[in-house]
Amino acid sequence: MSKIDIAKAPLVVGSRYPAPYDEPCKLRENRQLGVAAGLTQFGVNLTRLKPGVWSSQRHWHAKEDEFIHVLEGEVVLVTDKGEETLRAGECAGFKAGSRDGHCLKNMSERDAVILTVGTRDDADWGEYSDIDLKFLPGRYSGGGGYRRKDGSEIR
């Protein structure tokens, strides 16, 4: 594989969350560097959060590890322990199966850029800690989707 042209890597803006859960993430930008490199076993994204934008709803994964490294700016990491600021050069990791949900919020006045790396396991599923939502297996094979935590459909 040759050098990745970051500007040509697939760009995904926003999230697939159903309304109204998508609102805080509508302006999140993910450059899919792993996809650009043809990787299938783990994902690598260059995530840009404008001021006020969240990386996701607070969530945890059953089968996927995640790692984040703040490259520019600062974000607030939200977990069950509360909130803590991560600045450029700092990082955090989230082990698969730990039900301590996490998300990043850009509460600063400038953009934040985060390198996000995670397992790509099509059997992965998880829940959102603060809302009645879970995500289903199959995200990488065209399935997946969302349900309420009791399994009922979202209307």
What does each of the 155 residues of the chain score in pLDDT, given as a tens digit?
A: 689 999 999 999 999 999 999 999 999 999 999 999 999 999 999 999 999 999 999 999 999 999 999 999 999 999 999 999 999 999 999 999 999 999 999 999 999 999 999 999 999 999 999 999 999 999 888 889 999 999 999 97
Nearest to 34 by CA among 118, 123, 105, 141: 118
Q: Considering the domain boundaries, does residue 154 fall inside one?
A: no
**Number of separate helices (H) and strands (E) present in the chain:** 1, 13
When divided into structural domains, the chain yields a total of 1
With respect to residue 68, please indicate whether it lies within any of the assigned structural domains.
yes
Domain span holding position 25: 9-147
Rounded to whole angstroms, how far apart are CA atoms 3 and 142?
Answer: 28
Does any domain span residue 134? yes
Tokens read off for 116: 């996000």
Q: Is residue 66 within 8 Å of residue 126, measured between CB atoms?
A: no
**155 in any annotated domain:** no
Please report, for the domain that includes residue 125, its CATH number.
2.60.120.10
